[in-house]
């Protein structure tokens, strides 16, 4: 199933842990005020692309379930930073 967010929304997956260049895994703390996501699909958005890593304030994302996968819908204006 393919999902395309409408308007200025981004569909993204929460990054639970991240691998460093040395091969170590660093888990994200759920208490962090800023959370990292990997973009899965974009609506009418020009500032991010699929597979970009984005940083969003903790309560800015709307959690949705697609099949068994938990994703988040995020407004473009709520994205704080992009890592390409």
Instruction: Please state which of the four CATH numbers 1.10.150.50, 3.30.420.40, 3.30.70.20, 2.30.33.40 is assigned to the domain occupying 9-83.
Output: 2.30.33.40
pLDDT of residue 52: 96
pLDDT of residue 19: 63
Distance in Å from the first CA to the final CA of the chain: 26
Whole-model pTM?
0.81
pLDDT of residue 83: 93
Low-confidence ranges of the chain (pLDDT < 50): none
Q: Which residue in 61, 59, 52, 57 sits closest to 83, CA to CA?
A: 52
Q: What is the SS3 assignment for 71?
A: strand
- The domain locations on the chain are 9-83
- The secondary structure of 18-46 as a DSSP string is EE-TTS-EEEPPTT-SEEEEEEEEESS-S
């Amino acid at each position: 199933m393919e999902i395309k967010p409408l308007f200025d929304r981004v569909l993204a997956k929460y990054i639970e842990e991240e691998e460093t260049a040395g091969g170590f895994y660093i888990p994200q703390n759920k208490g962090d005020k800023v959370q990292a996501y990997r973009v899965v699909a974009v609506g009418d958005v020009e500032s991010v692309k699929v597979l970009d890593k984005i940083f969003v304030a903790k309560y800015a994302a709307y959690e949705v379930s697609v099949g068994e996968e938990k994703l988040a819908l995020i407004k473009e204006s709520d994205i704080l930073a992009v890592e390409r």
